[in-house]
Amino acid sequence: MSVTQADVAQGFRDLGLGDGDVVLMHSSLSSFGQVDGGADAVIDGVLSAVGRGGTLVVPTLTGSETLNPENPPRFDLRTQPCWTGIVPETLRQRPEAIRSTHPTHSCAAIGRLAEDLTHDHHRSLTPCGMRSPYFRVAMAGGYIAMAGCNLTACTTFHTVEEIARLPYVCQPDPAACTCIDRHGETVEVTCYLHSYAGPERDFPALEPHLLAQGAMRFGRVGPCEIRLIESLSLIEAALDELRSDPWYLTVRRGSAEHQEEC
């Protein structure tokens, strides 16, 4: 049996999302089984769950490991496809969507807080810092939804890593990047790009803590498993763990001999 837009809306409401809520969604369309209406039905289902006062944000990432200060990104937010799946790629092309101006970690949003959450992303010195939509979703009391994917794909953990100034997150020197904004204007952006050389991450390690705190719930739409997490709780819980173990978010967790290095 196929999944419909109404099923998506009901599944997200059953998880506790309601009118006025803000949700940042990472997704895998194929995990829903066959969806009538494809990516648009998923988008409209979530928009319906959060109502006219709510906001849906998706990551529209474009960065890659080939980028560095010698090979800085040039990003045109009007045309550059993202690699985070068909749902964000479809949402960002809607006329009412607002995409943030960032050379590697842009987000697109639809809804009441779309402008507030996306503006000034280009002023963030690190991709997911305090001026990014990832942090602002948390400040707005928003949620993160992982639809058909687990916490491995949760970009907000990079916000945590950047706030904690973990030395492996960003490249040592800033890059002079160029963005073309939604008005076609050129914006020069100085940004520390992510490093792809850091240790292997293990973000799902935080899951038991989030469940124990009641900050994460599981739901389902057809065959798709959905995790709904309070964004601010995730950031606070991860920062808390990092205070006693700077490798907490990596597979090196608990390796005391590396702690000085980090």
Ligand X SMILES: CC(C)(COP(=O)(O)OP(=O)(O)OC[C@H]1O[C@@H](n2cnc3c(N)ncnc32)[C@H](O)[C@@H]1OP(=O)(O)O)[C@@H](O)C(=O)NCCC(=O)NCCS
**For residues 10 and 28, which CB has a smaller minimum distance to ligand X in the complex?**
28
Q: Site residues (CB under 6 A) for ligand X? A: 26-32, 34-35, 38, 59, 61, 84-87, 149, 153, 155
**For residues 31 and 195, which CB has a smaller minimum distance to ligand X in the complex?**
31
Least distance between ligand X and beta carbon 140 (Å): 19
Least distance between ligand X and beta carbon 237 (Å): 18
Least distance between ligand X and beta carbon 85 (Å): 3
Closest residue to ligand X, judged by C-beta, is 85
Distance of alpha carbon 97 from alpha carbon 166, whole angstroms: 33
**For residues 35 and 184, which CB has a smaller minimum distance to ligand X in the complex?**
35
Residues whose CB falls within 8 Å of the CB of residue 186, separated by 6 or more in sequence, listed in order: 178, 179, 180
**For residues 53 and 197, which CB has a smaller minimum distance to ligand X in the complex?**
197
**For residues 20 and 198, which CB has a smaller minimum distance to ligand X in the complex?**
198
Least distance between ligand X and beta carbon 105 (Å): 8
Least distance between ligand X and beta carbon 104 (Å): 10
Least distance between ligand X and beta carbon 112 (Å): 23
CA-wise closest residue to 77 among 67, 87, 57, 62: 62
Q: Are strands 22-27 and 175-180 parallel, antiparallel or unpaired?
A: unpaired
**For residues 31 and 68, which CB has a smaller minimum distance to ligand X in the complex?**
31
User: What are the Cα distances from residue 231, in Å, to 15, 141, 221, 237, 245?
Assistant: 15, 7, 21, 10, 21
**For residues 30 and 259, which CB has a smaller minimum distance to ligand X in the complex?**
30
Least distance between ligand X and beta carbon 149 (Å): 4
